[in-house]
């Protein structure tokens, strides 16, 4: 008999870097989850934009179980069929010519930053190591990536950060022109900034970043850990910007719940600089992860799914804006496909966490982006009925939070 567990076990046994809500989920199907008490919840968070195809998708289950019956792991002294098939499909669908596998978005960004520095040092010497990043950005939790990310609260108190990292405000053209120069090896940017509230970067600014990176032979890195894999209604957000990066990182939705991180780049960027032994990953390219990701990519990268994302996103954003006006809960709703940032009104300032708890009590799960933004990231294939049911529960939450 499996021993019962409760939320109290988290406080007793787990390192307290998280503070989860009280429920414990035991089953999921589609865009619905059930807790230990059998209560159902509409999932508007998708595990922080991870479960891109919902829970227990039959195509993903089939891919996982079929691969599990063949081979789970072989190490990178060898290769395997799912890893090769996925790499080929990603290169055929994007600008990329080379793929590196890790296990998370942080690992993908770590690889991208190391590649950019390695290439620059190889070509120009040890002075060309500066990385330009943007305040409010988030690129992972390794010490390198959290230092490059533009939120000092995540990297403070751990001693000196790696040298050569420069942060500026997003959309500050003067600052960008000032800091990008001969010592710059990389500029890293999220085309839609997630942790700061789902903020799309202006295409003109991205084009300027591209121009300056090319001028100084610095790698342009697009962090699409959250914005990629159909989330915005295109396979990757860069495809709508008129800008092509040198390196693209992705994770979250490409595995649809199975851990995987991917760095994609060009042959010119990678071939002479990331050679055997320079970088690696024990579990990167795992056959189970790659089989699931290949199945997810095959489903997501279809006209039907991508068009559905845009249609459902418009419907959800319209309803959320109506709620904002009716209940005075949201000042603004920013929509990048099925990924939305609902800016709380001054009346609710600082209460995004309380809003999330109240929403969970009403049977709908979402995430936050700081203290003032309610963040939504549903499954890309959420049914119209589940989408509206979840929005109804969100509306009840708005009414309760404002007393209207």
DSSP structure string for 182-231: TTEEEEEE-SEETTTTSEEPPHHHHHHHHHHHHHTT-EEEEE-TTTTTTT
pLDDT at 159: 87
Of 310, 371, 399, 394, residue with least CA distance to 44: 394
The residue written with tokens 């009346």 in the block is: 347
The residue written with tokens 């046994």 in the block is: 13
Name the phi and psi angles at 294, rounded to 5: -60, -45
Residue-wise pLDDT for 80-130, tens only, equals: 999 999 999 999 999 999 999 999 999 999 999 999 999 999 999 999 999
pLDDT at 49: 97
Strand partners of residue 342: 333, 374
Domains of the chain by start residue, with CATH: 7-56+303-402 (3.90.1150.10), 71-300 (3.40.640.10)
pLDDT at 1: 64
Q: Please, what is the average pLDDT of the chain?
A: 96
Of 211, 199, 116, residue with least CA distance to 164: 116
* E strand map for 277-362: 330-335, 340-344
With left for phi above 0 and alpha for psi between -120 and 50, is residue 238 left, alpha or beta? Answer: alpha
Q: Assess whether pLDDT exceeds 90 at residue 376.
A: yes
- pLDDT confidence tier of residue 75, bands split at 50, 70 and 90: very high
Over residues 256-270, the mean pLDDT reads 98
Q: Assess whether pLDDT exceeds 80 at residue 2.
A: no
pLDDT above 70 coverage of the chain, percent = 100
Over residues 16-39, the mean pLDDT reads 96
Over residues 358-368, the mean pLDDT reads 97
Q: Which of 155-164, 194-203, 241-250, 363-372 has the lowest mean pLDDT?
A: 155-164
Over residues 2-28, the mean pLDDT reads 93
The residue written with tokens 């010592």 in the block is: 183
Over residues 223-229, the mean pLDDT reads 97
Q: Assess whether pLDDT exceeds 90 at residue 156.
A: no
- Looking at per-residue confidence, does 36 or 3 come out higher? 36
pTM over 0.85: yes
């Amino acid at each position: 008999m499996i021993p019962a567990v409760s939320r109290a076990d988290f406080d007793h046994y787990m390192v307290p870097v998280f503070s989860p809500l009280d429920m414990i989920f035991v089953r999921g199907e589609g865009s619905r989850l059930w807790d230990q008490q059998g209560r159902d919840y509409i999932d508007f968070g998708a595990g922080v934009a991870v479960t891109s195809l919902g829970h227990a998708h039959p195509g993903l289950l089939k891919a996982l179980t079929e691969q599990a019956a063949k081979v789970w792991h072989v190490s990178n002294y060898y290769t395997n069929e799912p890893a090769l098939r996925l790499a080929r499909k990603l290169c055929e669908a994007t600008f990329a010519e080379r793929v590196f596998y890790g296990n998370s978005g942080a690992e993908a960004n770590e690889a991208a930053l190391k590649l950019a520095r390695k290439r620059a040092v190889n070509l120009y010497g040890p002075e060309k190591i500066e990385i330009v990043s943007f305040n409010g950005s988030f690129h992972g939790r390794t010490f390198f990536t959290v230092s490059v990310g533009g939120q000092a609260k995540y990297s403070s108190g751990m001693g000196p950060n790696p040298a050569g990292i420069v942060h500026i405000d997003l959309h500050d053209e003067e600052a960008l022109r000032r800091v990008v120069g001969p010592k710059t090896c990389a500029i890293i940017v999220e085309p839609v900034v997630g942790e700061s509230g789902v903020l799309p970067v202006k295409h003109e600014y991205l084009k300027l970043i591209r121009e300056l990176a090319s001028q100084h032979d610095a790698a342009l890195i697009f962090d699409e850990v959250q914005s990629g894999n159909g989330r915005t209604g295109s396979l990757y957000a860069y495809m709508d910007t008129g800008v092509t990066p040198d390196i693209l990182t992705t994770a979250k939705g490409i595995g649809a719940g199975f851990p995987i991180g991917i760095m994609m780049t060009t042959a010119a960027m990678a071939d002479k600089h990331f050679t055997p032994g320079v970088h690696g990953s024990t579990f990167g390219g795992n056959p189970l992860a790659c089989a699931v990701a290949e199945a997810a990519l095959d489903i997501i990268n279809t006209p039907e799914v991508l068009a559905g994302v845009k249609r459902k996103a418009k419907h959800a954003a319209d309803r959320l804006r109506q709620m904002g006006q009716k209940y005075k809960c949201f000042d603004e709703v920013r929509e990048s496909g099925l990924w939305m940032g609902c800016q709380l009104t001054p009346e609710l300032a600082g209460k995004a966490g309380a809003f999330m708890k109240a929403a969970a009590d009403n049977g709908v799960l979402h995430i936050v982006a700081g203290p003032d933004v309610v963040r939504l990231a549903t499954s890309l294939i959420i049914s119209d009925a589940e989408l509206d049911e979840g929005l109804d529960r969100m509306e009840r939450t708005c009414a309760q939070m404002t007393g209207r």
